[in-house]
Amino acid sequence: MPPPMEPTLAAFPNPFLRYFAATRPPFLSVTFAACLVGLATAALDGAMLRPAAAFFTVFFALVAHAGINVLNDYYDALNGSDAANTERQFPFTGGSRFIQNGVLSLRAAGLFGYALLASVIPAGLWLAWTSAGGLILIGLAGMFVGWAYSAPPLKFMSRGLGELAVACGWLIVVVGADYVQRGAFSALPFVAGLPYALHVANVLFINQFPDYRADSAAGKRNWVVRLGPLRARWGYPFIVGVAYGWLAGAVALGALPWTALLALVALAPALAATKQLLAHAAKPAELVPAIRATIGAAMLHGILLAVGLVAARLTGLH
């Protein structure tokens, strides 16, 4: 019997709800916040926001993220890491358990993940047609990074490149959301989006601590496996420091308005998570509060940054 709270076939008799839940909807929120940051950078520079384009940008970014989540479960089932994970902290680590608990077959999960990614292509082409052709490059880059994160032969997550791939992936979301509205490339979404992307990378990083033994057994050579939990734990405050150092530096140099410093509020949960991880890096069951705080810090940072950028536009403080 699966542990309590984990999905079972009996709990999802409705096929639509079964497949929807397999995408791990609560975790799609980080993509929603990334889109908000991108829309806010476009607004800050005076772009006239197009509501329909903004809606479809957000919607299909969420669909793409959903597809990547399902494919990650598919490839982790193939490499055996999720099946071997006895120290998982559901629902945060160890995958969605839909394959392991027999809710979806391995083949169904793979087909569903690729179908979700394929469904984004027509929408991306339409958005490119309504904005500019550079969006095709952005979309291709995003889909490539999302696929290569877990799929062979690249398997970035198994080569110590997972955090870099995640940071690049969510920075691409920010840039894409901005581009749809602006119709051109700009440095602003890169500057504003990087600290948020680093927050999302830290979500991946901290989730690897409870999965350490299973990932090691499956040959997933991420940095927690390479260094061991006690040494790897210092990577978390390093990423936090880079994120907020970049934000403060961008404001000091005038690349971002001072209202962007509203995102500093998210430093509180990030520091709380740092303290918890440093104390319990080798104790999976003790890390759930730190994982929750890390997700909260990412969401809070993204939303407050977007609010700060829009406030600068509305008040003329940029």
Nearest C-alpha neighbor of 128 from the set 235, 53, 231: 53
The Cα–Cα gap between 86 and 94 comes to: 8
Nearest C-alpha neighbor of 199 from the set 275, 91, 294, 281: 294
pLDDT in tens, 231-242: 999 999 999 999
Average confidence (pLDDT) over 18-35: 97
Average confidence (pLDDT) over 24-42: 97
Q: What percent of the chain has pLDDT over 90?
A: 96
Evaluate if residue 246 carries a pLDDT over 70.
Answer: yes
Prior bond of 26 cis (ω within 30°) = no
Average confidence (pLDDT) over 256-274: 98
Evaluate if residue 4 carries a pLDDT over 90.
Answer: no
Of the pLDDT bands very low, low, confident and very high (cuts 50, 70, 90), residue 2 is: low
pTM exceeding the 0.85 threshold for the entire prediction = yes
What per-residue confidence (pLDDT) applies to 5? 86
Local structure of residue 104 (DSSP, 8 states): S
Mean pLDDT of the chain: 95
Phi first, then psi: what are they for 266, rounded to 5°? -70, -10
CB 271 within 8 A of CB 254: no
Evaluate if residue 1 carries a pLDDT over 60.
Answer: no
Three-state DSSP class for residue 121: helix
Which tokens belong to 90?
């559901």
Residue partners of 55: CB distance under 8 A and separation at least 6: none
> Quick one: how many helices (H) and strands (E) in the chain?
13, 0
All structural domains of the chain with their residue ranges = 15-315
| Cβ neighbours, 10 Å, residue 282 | 13
Cα distances from 32 to residues 57, 62, 83, in angstroms, run: 10, 7, 30
CB 42 within 8 A of CB 49: yes
Nearest C-alpha neighbor of 82 from the set 160, 107, 74, 152: 74
pLDDT in tens, 100-150: 999 999 999 999 999 999 999 999 999 999 999 999 999 999 999 999 999
Three-state DSSP class for residue 107: helix
Nearest C-alpha neighbor of 148 from the set 68, 226, 77: 68
Evaluate if residue 316 carries a pLDDT over 80.
Answer: no
Local structure of residue 228 (DSSP, 8 states): -
Evaluate if residue 314 carries a pLDDT over 60.
Answer: yes
What per-residue confidence (pLDDT) applies to 317? 67
Evaluate if residue 52 carries a pLDDT over 60.
Answer: yes
What per-residue confidence (pLDDT) applies to 3? 67
Average confidence (pLDDT) over 307-318: 88
Average confidence (pLDDT) over 32-56: 95
**19 exposure class (CB count in 10 Å sphere: 0-12, 13-18, 19+):** buried
Domain over 15-315 is classified CATH 2.30.30: no
Nearest C-alpha neighbor of 207 from the set 174, 229, 238: 229
- Residue matched to tokens 């008799």: 13
Evaluate if residue 214 carries a pLDDT over 80.
Answer: yes
Average confidence (pLDDT) over 169-198: 97
The Cα–Cα gap between 134 and 175 comes to: 11
What per-residue confidence (pLDDT) applies to 48? 87
The Cα–Cα gap between 123 and 172 comes to: 17
Average confidence (pLDDT) over 195-221: 96
